[in-house]
């Protein structure tokens, strides 16, 4: 099961358009080596030959990816202003140029990072994560759980089995919540897209604050001793330990390609929709317009951003282009971060799914603690930055 960029909804595969998956999904099967005779030595050389072929194909794909990526800006200007004849000063021309540049840029970044993380995740299965956290004490366990949430496969439909597996394996409730907060919110795809669009400072701010919320919120919920508000049947569930194979490198590369097909194939419509909204804001919203109600001076902008973000059902790849456009038009960084975190970490659909294992009281505490952390982050960065 794959996790999407918000960690929320990628649980089934879908075909990937070539523009989204890029050259990474184009790796074909290597030619069959000649049949090996017993004792000929060819049997041991087969895996090495296949691995060498795959590594060469991946290296060629990365080089081709970079050559295409570096030409996106000139291509956007050429298509928008030379071929379509739009004016750079015109609102429509500005919006179209934004879309033509950002759509392939975001999809290419998405395909590359999903491929790399798909390989990394072959080392971190949910069962491995459960074993690492089992028996961990709080505080240190909260920090480890938040860190593991970044690299462990997660989606909304896996929240319930992961919660049951963690709790029945002896993982403290607060540590479990640190994982469930970090996994969808501080995911690697969001970080790479933030880095690609805004630079390392904004990506580092999002990483540090997201992990901070996951650690502190999980620790607070552990101190409150809320186990009595977990549905009783959860503790009566027996979870078996599945046997895990150690895949070789060829299999790991296949896992990376499969992740590209599944994740990019699922989220690309949301990505294009988010970029289209961002392009409209970029082209038609006046400069500094957002400062009037999403700027530092509006004290109510942060709670309003959180309230608006909770009922939205999106993912990081879909919401980040909107965030980019909002910042360009004068919105404050803290307000925008609060909005993005609320969309990803406090989504209403995920709370509905968690209702199967948590009582309404515990869900309310969970939303309240995480929401308070997001509000603090929003106000802090509106003051400091």
Tens of pLDDT, residues 311-354: 776 666 778 888 888 888 888 888 988 988 888 888 777 788 88
Q: What is the mean pLDDT of residues 164-169?
A: 80
The lowest-confidence range among 58-72, 124-138, 157-171, 352-366 is 124-138
**Is 38 a domain residue?**
no
Strand partners, 230: 358
Does the pLDDT at position 43 exceed 60? no
Average pLDDT of the chain is 78
Q: Specify the pLDDT at position 1.
A: 44
Q: Specify the pLDDT at position 100.
A: 92
**Is 178 a domain residue?**
yes
**Which among 79, 319, 279, 93 is positioned nearest to 190, based on CA atoms?**
319
What distances in angstroms separate CA 76 from CA 93, 100, 219, one per listed residue?
11, 6, 48
Q: Residue 78: pLDDT band by 50, 70, 90 thresholds?
A: very high
**Is 189 a domain residue?**
yes
The residue ranges of DSSP E strands in the chain, in sequence order, are none
Token code pair at residue 288: 């500094």
The lowest-confidence range among 92-101, 287-296, 339-348 is 287-296
Q: Which helix (H) or strand (E) holds 70?
A: none
Q: What is the mean pLDDT of residues 5-22?
A: 42
Q: What is the mean pLDDT of residues 45-74?
A: 87
Crossing angle for the helix pair 159-168 and 126-133, nearest 10 degrees? 30
The torsion angle over the Cα atoms of residues 304, 306, 308 and 311, rounded to 10 degrees, is: -150
Q: Specify the pLDDT at position 287.
A: 66
Quote the number of domains for the chain.
1
**Which among 64, 71, 62 is positioned nearest to 105, based on CA atoms?**
71
**Is 134 a domain residue?**
yes
- Does residue 8 or residue 53 have the better pLDDT? 53
Q: Specify the pLDDT at position 5.
A: 39
Crossing angle for the helix pair 91-120 and 265-284, nearest 10 degrees? 150
Q: Specify the pLDDT at position 7.
A: 42
User: Residues 34-41: contacts with CB within 8 Å, 24+ apart?
Assistant: none
**Is 315 a domain residue?**
yes
Give 211-244 pLDDT, tens digit per residue: 999 999 999 998 898 888 988 888 777 555 554 5
Does the pLDDT at position 44 exceed 70? no
Residue-range definition of the domain harbouring residue 173: 1-28+43-239+249-385
Using only C-alpha atoms, what is the Rg of the chain? 23
- Does residue 342 or residue 12 have the better pLDDT? 342
**Is 330 a domain residue?**
yes
**Is 255 a domain residue?**
yes
**Is 35 a domain residue?**
no
Q: Residue 156: pLDDT band by 50, 70, 90 thresholds?
A: low
């Amino acid at each position: 099961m794959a996790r999407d960029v918000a960690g929320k909804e990628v649980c089934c595969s879908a075909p990937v358009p070539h523009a989204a998956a890029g050259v990474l999904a184009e790796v074909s099967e290597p030619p069959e080596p000649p049949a090996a005779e017993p004792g000929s030595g060819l049997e041991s050389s087969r895996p090495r030959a296949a691995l060498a072929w795959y590594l060469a194909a991946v290296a060629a794909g990365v080089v081709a990816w970079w050559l295409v990526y570096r030409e996106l800006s000139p291509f956007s200007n050429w298509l928008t202003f030379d071929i379509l004849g739009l004016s750079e000063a015109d609102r429509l021309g500005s919006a179209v140029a934004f879309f033509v540049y950002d759509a392939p840029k975001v999809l290419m970044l998405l395909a590359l990072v999903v491929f790399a993380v798909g390989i990394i995740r072959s080392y971190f299965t949910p069962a491995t994560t459960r074993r690492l956290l089992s028996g961990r004490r709080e505080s240190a366990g909260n920090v480890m759980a938040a860190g593991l949430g970044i690299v462990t496969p997660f989606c909304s439909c896996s929240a319930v089995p992961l919660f049951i597996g963690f709790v029945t394996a002896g993982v403290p409730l607060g540590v479990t919540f640190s994982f469930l907060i970090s996994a969808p919110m501080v995911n690697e795809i969001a970080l790479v897209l933030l880095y690609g669009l805004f630079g390392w400072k904004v990506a580092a701010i999002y990483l540090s604050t997201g992990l901070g919320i996951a650690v502190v919120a999980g620790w607070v919920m552990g101190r409150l001793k809320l186990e009595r508000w977990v549905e009783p049947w959860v503790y009566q569930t027996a979870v078996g330990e599945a046997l895990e194979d150690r895949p070789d490198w060829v299999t790991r590369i296949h896992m990376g390609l499969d992740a590209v097909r599944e994740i990019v194939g699922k989220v690309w419509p949301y990505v294009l929709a988010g970029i289209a909204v961002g392009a409209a804001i970029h082209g038609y919203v006046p400069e500094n317009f957002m400062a009037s109600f999403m700027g530092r001076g509006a004290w109510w902008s942060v709670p309003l951003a959180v309230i608006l973000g909770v009922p939205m059902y999106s993912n990081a790849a879909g919401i980040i282009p909107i965030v980019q456009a909002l910042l360009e038009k004068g919105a404050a960084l803290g307000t925008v971060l609060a909005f993005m975190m609320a969309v990803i970490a406090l989504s209403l659909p995920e709370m509905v799914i968690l209702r199967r294992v948590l009582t309404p009281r515990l869900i309310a505490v969970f939303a309240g603690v995480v929401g308070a952390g997001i509000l603090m982050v929003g106000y802090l960065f509106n003051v400091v930055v």
